[in-house]
Amino acid sequence: MPAPLDRVLAGLPGIRQDAEDLYKDLHAHPELGNDEHRTAARAAELLRGYGYEVTESIGTTGVVGVLANGDGPTVLLRADMDALPVREDTGLPYASTATVTGDDGDEQPVMHACGHDVHVTCMLGFARLMASAGDAWSGTLVTLFQPSEEKADGADGMVEDGLTDRVPRPDVALAQHVLPYPAGYVGVRRGSFLSAADSLRVTLYGRGAHGSMPQAGVDPVVLAAMCVVRLQTIVSRELAATTPAVLTVGSIRAGASPNVIPDTAVMELNVRTYDDATRRQVLDAVRRCVDAEAKASNAPRQPLVERLNAFPPTVNDDEVADRLDRAFRDHFGDDAHTIGLQTASEDFSRIPEAFGAPFAYWGIGGIDPDTYRAAAERGTVAQDIPVNHSPAFAPVIQPTLDTGITALAVAALAWLGADA
Amino acid sequence: MPAPLDRVLAGLPGIRQDAEDLYKDLHAHPELGNDEHRTAARAAELLRGYGYEVTESIGTTGVVGVLANGDGPTVLLRADMDALPVREDTGLPYASTATVTGDDGDEQPVMHACGHDVHVTCMLGFARLMASAGDAWSGTLVTLFQPSEEKADGADGMVEDGLTDRVPRPDVALAQHVLPYPAGYVGVRRGSFLSAADSLRVTLYGRGAHGSMPQAGVDPVVLAAMCVVRLQTIVSRELAATTPAVLTVGSIRAGASPNVIPDTAVMELNVRTYDDATRRQVLDAVRRCVDAEAKASNAPRQPLVERLNAFPPTVNDDEVADRLDRAFRDHFGDDAHTIGLQTASEDFSRIPEAFGAPFAYWGIGGIDPDTYRAAAERGTVAQDIPVNHSPAFAPVIQPTLDTGITALAVAALAWLGADA
Amino acid sequence: MPAPLDRVLAGLPGIRQDAEDLYKDLHAHPELGNDEHRTAARAAELLRGYGYEVTESIGTTGVVGVLANGDGPTVLLRADMDALPVREDTGLPYASTATVTGDDGDEQPVMHACGHDVHVTCMLGFARLMASAGDAWSGTLVTLFQPSEEKADGADGMVEDGLTDRVPRPDVALAQHVLPYPAGYVGVRRGSFLSAADSLRVTLYGRGAHGSMPQAGVDPVVLAAMCVVRLQTIVSRELAATTPAVLTVGSIRAGASPNVIPDTAVMELNVRTYDDATRRQVLDAVRRCVDAEAKASNAPRQPLVERLNAFPPTVNDDEVADRLDRAFRDHFGDDAHTIGLQTASEDFSRIPEAFGAPFAYWGIGGIDPDTYRAAAERGTVAQDIPVNHSPAFAPVIQPTLDTGITALAVAALAWLGADA
Amino acid sequence: MPAPLDRVLAGLPGIRQDAEDLYKDLHAHPELGNDEHRTAARAAELLRGYGYEVTESIGTTGVVGVLANGDGPTVLLRADMDALPVREDTGLPYASTATVTGDDGDEQPVMHACGHDVHVTCMLGFARLMASAGDAWSGTLVTLFQPSEEKADGADGMVEDGLTDRVPRPDVALAQHVLPYPAGYVGVRRGSFLSAADSLRVTLYGRGAHGSMPQAGVDPVVLAAMCVVRLQTIVSRELAATTPAVLTVGSIRAGASPNVIPDTAVMELNVRTYDDATRRQVLDAVRRCVDAEAKASNAPRQPLVERLNAFPPTVNDDEVADRLDRAFRDHFGDDAHTIGLQTASEDFSRIPEAFGAPFAYWGIGGIDPDTYRAAAERGTVAQDIPVNHSPAFAPVIQPTLDTGITALAVAALAWLGADA
C-alpha cells in the first residue's frame, strides 16, 4: 500500500485546474484587511463542500474549517487572506483593477502584492486532497483563513473573538508564505525566522517662532535631526554585532514654510528585531533617546510615542522545524533548503501562542526558475526579481501552486500520516 | 514766517478725519501682492485730485505720483500696498473678512497684518499736505506706491517695467514701516537695518528601500538629519560672534510610512544676514555642507538647491540716516530713537539701487502706548504685544497715523524744506 | 597759561629715554602671574621716588601708588604686570630668554607676549609726569599695578586682600591695553568692550569595554561627539542673531587604543559672552545639553562639569566712555576711534566693581603704522600682523609708549584737570 | 588492536607532569611578540628531542618541527608563542613578574594574558605523544610555533621569510585557542569564526585659531565629532541586519586648551567584519565618510588615513570543520559544541592561505568548570569570568592541558589516523 503522502498527492492532478482557476479569480479580486468578505465566503463555501465543519466571521472575516478524522493529533494550518493598497503593474491577464474608497474619500488601488492569494488557493487545494484521502491519515485537521495579516491585527482579532474556544486546540500549528525564491523551492529553519516589527510615531514638541528669532522658540526640526542621528547609535553601539536589528526612521515631517519655526515634528519609525529581549531593549532605548534629546533641546514637553502597529517575532519551534525539515528533504530532495533569516514580519504566531501550541513557518518560492537562475548568474537578483509588496510581484502559477499544496500535505502528514 | 515744517503740518488737523476714514476702508479691503487693484486705483485717484502727475500699473499695480515744485532736490518716498493671507483676529469693527480663491482653488483669508494700510494712508495724507503747502518747500516730490512687498517681487517688478525711465531720478529715497513699538515712536539707524532673507528648497536624493533593508538603499532621512545638524555649524563656527546671521530649517519632509525608506527628503530653509559678504558666505556654506553630506551618504545625486525667494539687506546710507536722525530728534524730541537692528526683511532697497540713489528706512510705532508700557513693566512685551504678521496685529489709529504723516513730512523737508 | 594737559605733557620729552629703557628691561625680564616680584619692586621703587605713597604685596605682588593732590575726584588707573608661558620669537635685541620651572618640573619659557610691559612702562611714565606737574591738576591719583591678569585671579586676589580698605575709593577707574592696531591709534567704546570668558572641563562617563563588544559598554567617544554637535545649537538656535557669543570646544580627549572603548572622555570648552544674562544662559545650556546627552547614552553617571577659570565681561560705563571719547578726540584727532567689540577678556572690572565705581577701558595700537598699512592694503592684516599671545608679538617702542603715556594723561585729566 | 587515537592518548598520563611543569615555566617567563627567544628555543630543543626535524628563526623566532611518518596526508598544526604588555594580577604562584624596556625607555610588564602558553604546552605535549606512537598513524606532521600573533605580523613574517619553501605543504592546517569557556569544552564551527580586525588612525586637518574667533579657523573638534556621528551610520544603515560588523572609535584626541582651536584632531578606530566583501565595504565607507565630512567642514586638506594593523577574518573551511566536529563529538561527547561566532581576531589564516591549504580553528575552555557554572547560574558570566587579555586571566591547569593535548590529537588523527 502506498505511503500516506502518495495517497494524498494522488489527487493533485485532478484538482490542479480548479486550483489555478481559483487562484486567478482571487488574484483579480483582492480585498484589504478585515474586508475579505468575498474571499472568506469562497473559502467557507468550498470547505463545506469538501465536508469540513466551518465557522465563519471569527474576528472580522476569519474562517476555520475542521475535519475530524479519527484518533490522532490535531494540526492547525493557516492561510492569510488580505491584499494591499498597491496598484498592480504586472501586465498579467488576471491582474487586479480593483479599487476601494479609503477613509479619506480617495480611491485606493488593491492588489494581492504579497501572495496571500497563493496561500488561500493552496490551503483550499490541500483541504480538498485531505478530505478525499481520509484513509491516508488520522487525527483532526484545522484549516484557518485569517484576515488582515498586513495590518498586524487579524490574528489578534480572531483570538479576541474567542478562537481558542471555538476550534479544537492544535498540537502543532503551521503556516507557509510565498517568497521571492525559485518556484519549487521549500525552506524552513530552526528558531528565528521572521523579525518582530514595531512601528512607532514620535511627536516631538518644540515651540514655534518666526524663523528669524530662534531664541524665541525651541526648534523641533533640529530636535528631530538630533533624534535621527542619536537613534543610529542604538544599532551601532547598544547591540552586539551578532544581534540582528534594524531601526529605520521612514518618515519625518515638520513645518510648512522655510521661514517659520514650527511647533512640532513627527517621526515615524520601524524597529525590527528577532527576539523579545532585543525588542524590548531597542524600544526602551528609542524612548530613552528621544526623551533625552528633548531635554537637551529644552523642549516644553516630553515626546509623545505612539505604537502604530506591532508584529511579534516569528520564532520556529526547533522540534517542529526539524520534523518539517526532515519531511521536506525526504519529499522535495534538493529543492528543500534551510532558509535564511528573513527581515519580513507576520502575526501568525499570535494564533499558536493563544493555544499554547508549538509552531513552525516555512517559505515556498514563487519566481519562474529560469528567470531566477538567469538573474542569479548575472548577480542581479536584488535588482531584477520583484519582491513581495512590489507592484510587479507576480508568482508563476506553476510549479508554485503544486509546491504550496504539496508542502502543506507533507507538513500535515508529518503529524497526521499513519506512519508519522 | 513759520518754518516750512510748521507750514506743512498746519494742514494736518484738517485732513485727519479723511485719513482715518481712508485707513479703515483700506484695512477692511486688503488685497494680496500684485492684486492691489482697488488700493492702487484709490491712491491714483486721490493723487490726481491733489494735483500730482500720476503713472499707474508700473510692474503690476504700482502707482507713482510726481509733484514738481520748483528747483531743488528730488525726493522719492515709498509706501507698500499688499496684504497677507492671514485670517484677521483683531475684533476691530473695521476688521477684514475678505477672502480670495487661491491657485489651489481654496478660499484664502486676507488681512493687512503687516500694516501696509498705515503706509498707504500716511503717504496719501502726506502727499495732500505737501500739495497744499507748496510755498513751504521747493523741489520735486515722488510718492511711490509699490505692490507685492511680501513676496519680494514688487520692487523688482516696477524696476523691470521701466520705473527708472518713467519717473524723475531721486536724489534720495525714503520709506517707513509701522512696527510693534509704542505709537508716537520714530526710530532710524545708520547702516544695517533689516536683514537680507534668502529662502531655499533643498531636495536630498537617497534611494528607497524596504525599511528592513537599509543596505539596499541610501537613507535620505538620515542624510537630512545630518544636513540639519551640519548646517548649525555655519552660524556657530564659520561666522564671527559679532556677525549677526540666522539659518533656520523651517520645514523638513520625507517619507510617508514608518517602514519604507523613501527616495528623497526635502528641506526648506531661510537665511538672514546683514551684508552681502556674509550672505554670500552663508549661502555658499549651505551648498558646500549639503553637497558634502550627500557624498558622505553615498547619495546617487547631488542635492538640488532651489531659490524660493530673496530679499536684499536693507542698509541705510549713513549720511541720509544722520540727516533723518537730526530732523526726527528736532521735531519728535524724546520720541525719536536709534532703533535696533531688525530681523525682518524688505525689498524697498531695490528701488533706490535701480536709480543709484542713497536711501534710508525708518520705523514708527503702532501699539497703544499704555498697553505697551504696562507690558514693558510686566516684562511681557514679547508675549503680550502682537507683532507684524500676527492675526491680532492691530495698530491704534492715533497717534499712529499722525506720527506716520508727520514723519514723512519731517523726512521730506529735511531735503526739500526751504531751510534744508 | 597752558591747559593742564599741555602742562603735564610738557615733561614727556624729558622722560622718554627712561621710559624706553625701562620698557626694554621689563620686556627682557618677564614674570608669570603672581610671581611678578621684580616688576612690582621696580614699580614700587619708582613710585616712591616720584613721591607716591606706596602699598606693596596686595594679593600677591600687587602695588598701589597714591598721590593726593588737593581737592577733587579720585581717579584709579590700572596696569597689569604678568607675562605668559610663551617662547619669544621676535628676534628683538631685548627679547626674553627667561624660563621658569613649572609645577611639573619642566622648564617653561616666559615672554611679555600680551604687552603688559607696555602697560607698566606707560603707567610709570604717566605717574612721573603727573607728579612733576602737580599744579596742573587737583584731586587724588591712584596708580594700581595688578598681578596675574592672564590667570583671571589677580584682580580678585587684590580685592580679597583688602584692596578697598587699603586705598582711597575712586570716583572712576580706568585701564588701557595695547592691541594689534597701528601705533598712535587710541580707541574707546560705550558698553560692551571685552567678552566674559568661562572655561569649563566636562568629564563624560561611559563604561569601558573591548572595542568589539560595544553592547557591553557605554561609548564615551560617541557621547562626546554628540555633545560637541549638540553644543553648536546653543549659539545657532538659543541666542538672537544680534547677541554675540562663542562656544568653542578646544580640547577633547578619550581613549588610548583604537580597539578599546574607554571609560571616560574629557572636553575642555570656552564660552565668550558680553553680558551676564547671556553668560548665565549659555552656561546653563551647556549643563543641560551634556546632562541630557549623557542620559541619551545611558551613561552610568552624569557628567562632571568643572570651572577652569572665569573672566567677567568688561562693559564700559557709557558716561565714562563718552567723556574719554571726547577727550581722546580733542587731543588725538583722527587717531581717536570708536573701537570695535573685542573677543578678548580681562579681569580689570573686578576692581572697580569692588569699589562700586564706574569704569572704562580703552585700547592703544602697538603695530608699526607702515607695516600695518601695507598689510591692510594687501588685505592680509589677519595673516601678517602678529596678535597678542603670539610668540612674534612685538609692539614698536614708539609711538607706542608716547601714545600710552599720553592717553593715560588725557584720560586722568578728563577728571582731574583744572578745567575738567 | 586499539584505535589510533587510543594508542596515541595512552601516553598522556606519562607526560602530564612534564606538561604541567612546562606550562608553569612558560607562564612565568612570557615574551612579547617577535621576542620569544626563550620560548622558541625551548620548543626547538624539545622537538629535536622527540625526533622532529626542526627549522628555527623563521620570520623572527618562528619554529617548525616536522615528523615524516610514512605515506599519507600532511597536517600542519600551529601554536602561537607571544605574550602581552599586561601586568599580571592573578595571584598565581607561577605568576609573571617579567618586564621589558619599551621603545620609550619605560619598563613594561609582560604576561601570558591570552593563553599562548597553553597553546605551546599542548602542542609540545601532543608532538611528543605523536612521536611516541608512530605506528598509530601515517603521514607527515608539521608542528608550527608562530611569533607575534598579537601584533598581527607573526604569520606574515614567517611567510615572508620563505615558510612555504622551507616546510612541506600541508593538506590541511589546524589551530586551537583557549577561551573563557569551562575547561573540558571543545568547540568548532563552519565558516566565519573570528572577525577581521582593521585598526586605522585618521588625522583630521582643521586650521587653528583663537577660541574666540572660530571664523578665522576650521574647527577640527567639530569635524571629528561629525565624523564619529557619521561613522555610526555605516553599521546602522549600510549593512544588512544579519551582516555582523563593529566600528569602534576607541580614541579621539584634539587640542590642549579650552580656548584654542587646534590644527588637527586624531581618531583611532577599529573595524571588525567577518568576510572580505563586508570588510572592504566598511573600510571604503570610512574613507568616504571622513573625506566628505572634511569637505563639509571646508578643511584645508583631506584626512590622512593610516592602517595601524590588520587581522584577516578567520573563516573555517566547511569540510574541515565538519570533519573536526565529527571527531570531537565522537571523542568528547557532550563536551563537544558548535561554538558561537567570536569577535576576537587572529592572523593564523595567513599561513594556510600562503600554502593554499584549507584550514579550521577551534576553541577549548580554560575556566574552572565549577566557577563557570556558578557564574552561569547567577547570570554573571560576563562580569565574573576574566577573559583573554585581562590581568586576571588564569586558565586552570587541568583539565585545560589534557583537553588541549587531546583535541590536537583527535584533530590530527582525523587526517592521519590509520582509519581516517
Tens digits of per-residue pLDDT, B305-343? 999 989 999 999 999 999 999 999 999 999 999 999 998
Q: Which of residues 55-74 of A touch B (CB under 8 A)?
A: none
Q: Which amino acid is residue B315, in one-letter code?
A: V
Nearest to A312 by CA among A271, A349, A342, A287: A349
Question: Which grid coordinates belong to B152?
Answer: 519680494
If you count residue pairs, one on B and one on D, with CB atoms under 8 Å apart, how many are there? Answer: 67
pLDDT tier, C419 (very low <50, low <70, confident <90, very high otherwise): low
Instruction: Give percent of chain A with pLDDT exceeding 70.
Output: 99
Residue labelled with grid coordinates 571543545: D186
Dihedrals φ, ψ of D118, to 5°?
A: -60, -45
- Same domain, yes or no: A402 and A361: yes
Q: Is C320 exposed, middle or buried (0-12, 13-18, 19+ CB in 10 A)?
A: buried
Relative to beta strand A196-205, strand A186-188 is unpaired
pLDDT tier, B38 (very low <50, low <70, confident <90, very high otherwise): very high
B248 interface with A at CB cutoff 8 Å: yes
- Same domain, yes or no: D231 and D289: yes
Q: Which chains touch D (3 or more CB pairs under 8 A)?
A: A, B, C
| pLDDT score, position A1 | 60
CA C205 to chain centre: 34
- Same domain, yes or no: B156 and B215: no
pLDDT tier, D107 (very low <50, low <70, confident <90, very high otherwise): confident
Q: Is B389 left (phi over 0), alpha (psi -120 to 50) or beta?
A: left
Rounded to the nearest 10 degrees, the angle between the axes of helix A116-132 and helix A400-416 is: 50
DSSP, collapsed to helix, strand or coil, labels residue B264 as strand
| pLDDT score, position D384 | 85
- Same domain, yes or no: C158 and C17: yes
pLDDT digits (tens, 9 = 90+) for D178-204: 999 999 999 999 999 999 999 999 999
More confident residue, D216 or A418: D216
In this predicted structure, the answer to whether residue B256 has a pLDDT above a threshold of 90 is: no
Choose the closest CB to C219 out of A237, A239, A241. A237
pLDDT digits (tens, 9 = 90+) for A89-118: 999 999 999 999 977 778 889 999 999 999
User: What are the beta bridge partners of residue B207?
Assistant: B218
Sheet strands (E) in B137-263: 139-146, 172-182, 186-188, 191-194, 196-205, 209-210, 245-254, 260-261
Q: Is D295 exposed, middle or buried (0-12, 13-18, 19+ CB in 10 A)?
A: middle
| pLDDT score, position D1 | 60
pLDDT tier, A420 (very low <50, low <70, confident <90, very high otherwise): low
Is D27 annotated as belonging to a binding site? no
**Best B235, B237, B239, B242 residue to mutate vs chain C (most C CBs within 10 Å):** B242
Pick the residue from chain B with its C-alpha nearest to D225: B230
A340 interface with D at CB cutoff 8 Å: yes
Sheet strands (E) in A102-138: 107-109
Work out the number of other CB atoms within 10 angstroms of the CB of residue B320. Answer: 24
| pLDDT score, position D379 | 82
| pLDDT score, position C411 | 98
Nearest to C332 by CA among C193, C189, C191, C187: C187
pLDDT digits (tens, 9 = 90+) for A34-85: 999 999 999 999 999 999 999 999 999 999 999 999 999 999 999 999 999 8
**Best D210, D212, D215 residue to mutate vs chain B (most B CBs within 10 Å):** D215
Burial code (b: 16+ CB inside 10 Å, e: under 16) for C98-136 equals beeeeeeeeebbbbbbbbbbbbbbbbbbbbbbbbbbeeb
Q: Would the CB atoms of C247 and B229 count as touching at under 8 Å?
A: no
Instruction: Compute CA distances D376 → C162, D188, D344, whole Å.
Output: 67, 21, 22
| pLDDT score, position D383 | 77
Instruction: Compute CA distances D138 → C412, D31, D48, D78, D417, whole Å.
Output: 107, 35, 20, 19, 7
- Same domain, yes or no: C177 and C54: yes
Question: Which grid coordinates belong to A363?
Answer: 517559505
- Look up the CATH number of the domain holding residue D235: 3.30.70.360
Q: Cα(A311)–Cα(A246) distance, rounded to whole angstroms?
A: 14
In this predicted structure, the answer to whether residue D161 has a pLDDT above a threshold of 90 is: yes
**What stretches of D343-387 show up as alpha helix (H) in DSSP?**
350-355, 369-378, 381-384
Chain D nearest-CA distance from A233, in A, is: 6
Q: Which of residues 180-209 of A touch D (CB under 8 A)?
A: 195
User: What are the beta bridge partners of residue C191?
Assistant: C316
Chain C nearest-CA distance from B361, in A, is: 19
- Same domain, yes or no: B89 and B206: no
Q: Which chains touch A (3 or more CB pairs under 8 A)?
A: B, C, D
Dihedrals φ, ψ of A28, to 5°?
A: -80, -10
Question: Which grid coordinates belong to D384?
Answer: 565574573
Chain C nearest-CA distance from A272, in A, is: 17
Relative to beta strand D209-210, strand D260-261 is antiparallel
Q: Cα(A340)–Cα(A358) distance, rounded to whole angstroms?
A: 20
D236 interface with A at CB cutoff 8 Å: yes
Pick the residue from chain C with its C-alpha nearest to B226: C229
| pLDDT score, position B1 | 60
If you count residue pairs, one on A and one on D, with CB atoms under 8 Å apart, how many are there? Answer: 42
In this predicted structure, the answer to whether residue B420 has a pLDDT above a threshold of 60 is: no
How many domains does chain B fold into? 2
Nearest to A33 by CA among A309, A297, A253: A309
pLDDT tier, C112 (very low <50, low <70, confident <90, very high otherwise): very high
Mean pLDDT of C39-68: 98
In this predicted structure, the answer to whether residue C58 has a pLDDT above a threshold of 70 is: yes
How many helices (H) and strands (E) are present in chain A, helices listed first? 13, 18
Instruction: Compute CA distances B303 → B108, B227, B254, B298, B331, whole Å.
Output: 33, 11, 14, 12, 54
Is A289 annotated as belonging to a binding site? no
Q: Is A71 exposed, middle or buried (0-12, 13-18, 19+ CB in 10 A)?
A: exposed
- Same domain, yes or no: D288 and D298: yes
Task: Name the domain boundary from C275, C307, C339.
Answer: C307
Chain C nearest-CA distance from D104, in A, is: 16
Residue labelled with grid coordinates 522545524: A321
C236 interface with D at CB cutoff 8 Å: no
DSSP class of residue C332?
Answer: H
Q: What predicted TM-score, i.e. pTM, was given to this entire model?
A: 0.88
Q: Would the CB atoms of B212 and D241 count as touching at under 8 Å?
A: yes
C230 interface with A at CB cutoff 8 Å: yes
- Same domain, yes or no: C288 and C321: no
Nearest to C125 by CA among C21, C280, C259: C21
pLDDT tier, D420 (very low <50, low <70, confident <90, very high otherwise): low
Q: Cα(B146)–Cα(C380) distance, rounded to whole angstroms?
A: 44
Nearest to D75 by CA among D173, D2, D9, D164: D173
- Same domain, yes or no: D124 and D244: no
Q: By the 8 A CB rule, do D323 and D172 touch? A: no
User: What are the beta bridge partners of residue D69?
Assistant: D139
Q: Which amino acid is residue C294, in one-letter code?
A: A
- Same domain, yes or no: D190 and D99: yes
Task: Name the domain boundary from A307, A335, A355.
Answer: A307
pLDDT digits (tens, 9 = 90+) for C205-224: 999 888 898 998 999 999 99
In this predicted structure, the answer to whether residue B124 has a pLDDT above a threshold of 70 is: yes
In this predicted structure, the answer to whether residue A347 has a pLDDT above a threshold of 70 is: yes
| pLDDT score, position A130 | 98
Q: Cα(A43)–Cα(A80) distance, rounded to whole angstroms?
A: 11
- Look up the CATH number of the domain holding residue B167: 3.40.630.10
Instruction: Compute CA distances C320 → B393, C345, C411, C414, D115, whole Å.
Output: 41, 20, 10, 10, 77
DSSP, collapsed to helix, strand or coil, labels residue D414 as helix
| pLDDT score, position B389 | 86
In chain A, which residues have their Cβ closer than 8 Å to the Cβ of D245?
241
Q: Would the CB atoms of D343 and A241 count as touching at under 8 Å?
A: yes
Instruction: Compute CA distances B196 → B29, B282, B349, B364, D202, whole Å.
Output: 30, 12, 11, 21, 40
B226 interface with A at CB cutoff 8 Å: yes
Q: Would the CB atoms of C201 and D258 count as touching at under 8 Å?
A: yes
- Same domain, yes or no: D113 and D166: yes
Task: Name the domain boundary from A307, A340, A358.
Answer: A307
Q: Would the CB atoms of C262 and D272 count as touching at under 8 Å?
A: no
pLDDT digits (tens, 9 = 90+) for C248-270: 999 999 998 898 899 999 999 99
| pLDDT score, position C315 | 95
The ipTM is 0.84
If you count residue pairs, one on A and one on B, with CB atoms under 8 Å apart, how many are there? Answer: 156
Q: Cα(A142)–Cα(A171) distance, rounded to whole angstroms?
A: 11
Q: Cα(A348)–Cα(A155) distance, rounded to whole angstroms?
A: 6
pLDDT tier, B282 (very low <50, low <70, confident <90, very high otherwise): very high
Burial code (b: 16+ CB inside 10 Å, e: under 16) for D114-151 equals bbbbbbbbbbbbbbbbbbbbeebbbbbbbbbbbbbbbe
Q: By the 8 A CB rule, do C408 and C126 touch? A: yes
Pick the residue from chain B with its C-alpha nearest to C244: B241
In chain C, which residues have their Cβ closer than 8 Å to the Cβ of D256?
250-251
Dihedrals φ, ψ of C24, to 5°?
A: -65, -40
Nearest to A170 by CA among A19, A353, A299: A353
Work out the number of other CB atoms within 10 angstroms of the CB of residue D225. Answer: 31
Domain carrying residue A266:
196-307
Is C177 annotated as belonging to a binding site? yes
User: What are the beta bridge partners of residue D268?
Assistant: D201, D251
Mean pLDDT of B35-58: 98
DSSP, collapsed to helix, strand or coil, labels residue B108 as strand
Dihedrals φ, ψ of D149, to 5°?
A: -70, -40
pLDDT tier, B83 (very low <50, low <70, confident <90, very high otherwise): very high
Q: Which of residues 267-296 of A touch C (CB under 8 A)?
A: 285, 288-289, 291-293, 295-296
DSSP, collapsed to helix, strand or coil, labels residue A411 as helix
State the average pLDDT for chain A.
95
Residues 6 or more apart whose CB falls under 8 angstroms from that of D220 comprise D204, D205, D206, D254, D261, D262, D263, D264, D265, D297, D299
Mean pLDDT of C139-160: 96
Rounded to the nearest 10 degrees, the angle between the axes of helix C12-28 and helix C116-132 is: 150
Chain A nearest-CA distance from B164, in A, is: 32
Dihedrals φ, ψ of D67, to 5°?
A: -125, 105
- Same domain, yes or no: B376 and B395: yes
In this predicted structure, the answer to whether residue D241 has a pLDDT above a threshold of 80 is: yes
Q: By the 8 A CB rule, do A391 and A87 touch? A: yes
Is B150 annotated as belonging to a binding site? yes
**Best C227, C251, C289 residue to mutate vs chain D (most D CBs within 10 Å):** C251
